[in-house]
Structure 1
């Protein structure tokens, strides 16, 4: 740095034009910037928003991801990203990634309070260390009977979707992913990883689902989800999935038709592609799907996703009766109000995911305003104020004249089938029509 200053003084002593002095001054500023950057280490980055000091009452401790990705606090436009929990953006290699929080502060406070009450030393409790003394890191806490009741610790006013159809096999697979191979004597690291797992299960199903479905190389299914990279404190780091569907409302027809076809293919993947699991998304809206830079459509919201183990499905037949909105709403009531779980016959109801997509996203909402709230029972139960659509337009508004009639007919049959199997046939017709335009 001394050499740079000496050089600059020599140059400034020379008779030079104003332009040369300006250029020299710019070079000097650049040199100072580079010098400062080289002196700054990863520990100088402000990642206080990750709350890593709260671990192991958190999702994980792979905080080097944030340093390596050069994350910084962001102020997303119009608050949309904040509503999705995005607090920072960065890069890992060439991949754009985001850091996002997974639950509201009050949920964390309830969880910490539960830990303190469960601790043998409840006074002056430090949840971050006391969790290691509670049953949350034991085998009892990682079994279905305990979890089904414990989910209400952080979410007393709603019933999360994940525990509804959760199977012992899926829970065991997740446990292996987080904790690794079981040993007779647990190390401090084993106990900490169990704390990460319990916290992830009870605070946010998204942290569990993304980690499980996007990080296993042996998975036979290319799940349409953003990739999970790790967790630091109370944020997870995932691939940036792109722009949400509402930003494509006024795109050219071919762009919207391609997105619509891929959205229907996404539902195909959720309900029938994987040999082990069926995923049933109960919440369909413009903001819950995104299109990345490669044109892939991704599911980005996992608050209301059921995970069904195919081995627990008793009835392997599709619905032999018509299942429209009243049928779908009755199914939700069985899931969320009944003490008995109705997951063994899930195949009767999974085609209604197409109806949700056709009604709420694809259809012309100016002609069918009542479809924007198709099957709204789940949102009503939770008392949510849902923004169903950012506009009266649907994704497939103003189609080419030559396909307008057949397209509207297929969408109508997708929403309200007139005979058993009518919805699935309409979806096939839609996919072919959209791929040809």
Structure 2
């Protein structure tokens, strides 16, 4: 710049005509513009890996945005707005739940979750390359748009029920009884009707389908949270879904998990227990279209937010049941642990039909009573109550070291006997419909605390 202005002085200092002076000024302005453009260009960085934030840059390489559209989504501006900070790798509690970063959006604390181990993603990318017309030069992140994953076939029930083998070693819960109606609802949410706006929008529609297929195959929690907290009009007890960047999703931080409340006052624990039973009520009865059935009950899969509300925070083992495809009837015969185990075995078999599944949804109450509410010091065998995979081929399941006691330990003396009796009937009913009666009795007892 010094050289530029020196030239200007030299030119203006001569006895030149007005025309020459104007010409020299124009030259100076052009040179100044060129210098500015070169400076800006030299300071540019990879827009995928780094997002500018004032005087600083935010490194989001941990979200792997360059993998899109073979990813959960591309709303990476969330990471800039939320001022995300990568979580310390030594934070065991966060790492177990797949939380890799925390931030704030609109004053709400949010988290970025990476919900799969590297092996699942590698299997997914290998499938994409095998399905590509040019497998020898395959880049999975790009070639996904040339595969069946962006076609209608990949969003139909028959294909989805077999497609879990692409990425996982065990069958996913969502695929067991999912309906085409639900998949179509979800497809519209991801594609956002761009296919109806003209042929030039086809590629954008395929990108949305790629996000959906990836989410369904890698971890359906991304799909369930997005659908039930953004499109559904029913207020579900889940953390809010904000978006996805690369291979992480951004959701509301739901608070502390239940195991951190074991030494809270009786009033606090009783309120949490009451909300857990009401949460099951909501999943079974609240929505006119869907019944949600979760199979994995543990202290780490529920949390209490800053308002004191209980949330289901892990939707890995959640089934979506279409009310139009099932017989809406209660269990008229007694069903306890072995009955529940037999049901799960049938559920995971290819021959099982889902029409009568609603009558088994009351077993969510039994799991809650046995594994979360019961005094586990008195009933230690209930820690693994109803856990099918504990009994398959001698396989041991890591239950994240559950507490040695349940939420309803050490109740007030005046309600101890009634509470224990209702909990026992909730877990092990001794007469038809005894469990539902016990749940009502528990809600009455806990509601008076």
* Coordinate RMSD, CA, aligned: 1.6
The SS at the match of 1:187 is helix
Pair 1:386-2:386 in alignment: no
Q: Which moved more, 1:367-376 or 1:41-50?
A: 41-50
Radius of gyration: which is bigger?
A: 2
Shift of 1:317: 1.7
Distance 1:295 1:323 in 2: 33
1:399 corresponds in structure 2 to 411
Distance 1:371 1:322 in 2: 19
1:307 corresponds in structure 2 to 320
Shift of 1:390: 2.9
1:197 corresponds in structure 2 to 212
Distance 1:279 1:178 in 2: 21
Point out where structure 1 has 5 or more consecutive residues left out of the alignment.
1-38
Distance 2:392 2:126 in 1: 26
Pair 1:260-2:273 in alignment: yes
Give CA deviations for 1:212-255 in whole Å, capped at 9, x if unaligned: 00002xx3421000000000000000000000000000000000
The SS at the match of 2:59 is coil
Could you tell me whether the CA contact under 8 Å between 1:372 and 1:389 is conserved in 2? no
Shift of 1:177: 0.5
Distance 1:235 1:242 in 2: 19
Q: Determine which of 225, 228, 235 is the counterpart of 1:213.
A: 228
Q: Determine which of 92, 97, 101 is the counterpart of 1:79.
A: 92
Pair 1:56-2:63 in alignment: no
Which consecutive aligned stretches of 4+ in structure 1 deviate over 4 angstroms post-superposition? 379-384
Give CA deviations for 1:342-378 in whole Å, capped at 9, x if unaligned: 3211121111100000000000011111111111114
Specify whether residues 381 and 164 from structure 1 end up closer, same or farther in structure 2 by C-alpha distance, changes over 3 A only.
Answer: farther
Distance 1:40 1:225 in 2: 31
2:144 corresponds in structure 1 to 131
Give CA deviations for 1:300-340 in whole Å, capped at 9, x if unaligned: 11111111000001x2220110010011001100011x222
Shift of 1:422: 0.6
The SS at the match of 1:395 is coil
Distance 1:244 1:373 in 2: 18
Pair 1:416-2:428 in alignment: yes
Distance 2:442 2:107 in 1: 35
The SS at the match of 2:116 is coil
1:352 corresponds in structure 2 to 363
Shift of 1:434: 0.6
Could you tell me whether the CA contact under 8 Å between 1:165 and 1:341 is conserved in 2? no
Distance 1:361 1:140 in 2: 41
1:153 corresponds in structure 2 to 166
Shift of 1:42: 8.3
Could you tell me whether the CA contact under 8 Å between 1:224 and 1:299 is conserved in 2? yes
Shift of 1:400: 0.2
Distance 2:84 2:221 in 1: 21
2:15 corresponds in structure 1 to none
Pair 1:173-2:188 in alignment: no
Point out where structure 2 has 5 or more consecutive residues left out of the alignment.
1-51
Could you tell me whether the CA contact under 8 Å between 2:383 and 2:402 is conserved in 1? no
Specify whether residues 317 and 178 from structure 1 end up closer, same or farther in structure 2 by C-alpha distance, changes over 3 A only.
Answer: same
Distance 1:308 1:275 in 2: 11
2:381 corresponds in structure 1 to 370
Q: Which moved more, 1:384-393 or 1:138-147?
A: 384-393
1:331 corresponds in structure 2 to 343
Pair 1:291-2:304 in alignment: yes
2:447 corresponds in structure 1 to 435
The SS at the match of 2:174 is coil
Distance 2:353 2:304 in 1: 33
Could you tell me whether the CA contact under 8 Å between 1:100 and 1:235 is conserved in 2? yes
Could you tell me whether the CA contact under 8 Å between 1:42 and 1:67 is conserved in 2? no
Shift of 1:388: 6.1
2:351 corresponds in structure 1 to 340
Distance 1:42 1:421 in 2: 64
Q: How many residue pairs were aligned?
A: 394
Shift of 1:146: 1.7
Could you tell me whether the CA contact under 8 Å between 1:286 and 1:389 is conserved in 2? no
Could you tell me whether the CA contact under 8 Å between 1:281 and 1:305 is conserved in 2? yes
Shift of 1:81: 1.1
What's the TM-score once normalised by structure 1's chain length?
A: 0.87
Specify whether residues 324 and 83 from structure 1 end up closer, same or farther in structure 2 by C-alpha distance, changes over 3 A only.
Answer: same
Q: Determine which of 105, 108, 112 is the counterpart of 2:121.
A: 108
Specify whether residues 379 and 111 from structure 1 end up closer, same or farther in structure 2 by C-alpha distance, changes over 3 A only.
Answer: farther
Could you tell me whether the CA contact under 8 Å between 2:419 and 2:442 is conserved in 1? yes
The SS at the match of 2:92 is helix
Distance 1:42 1:150 in 2: 46
What's the TM-score once normalised by structure 2's chain length?
A: 0.85
The SS at the match of 2:260 is helix
The SS at the match of 2:350 is coil
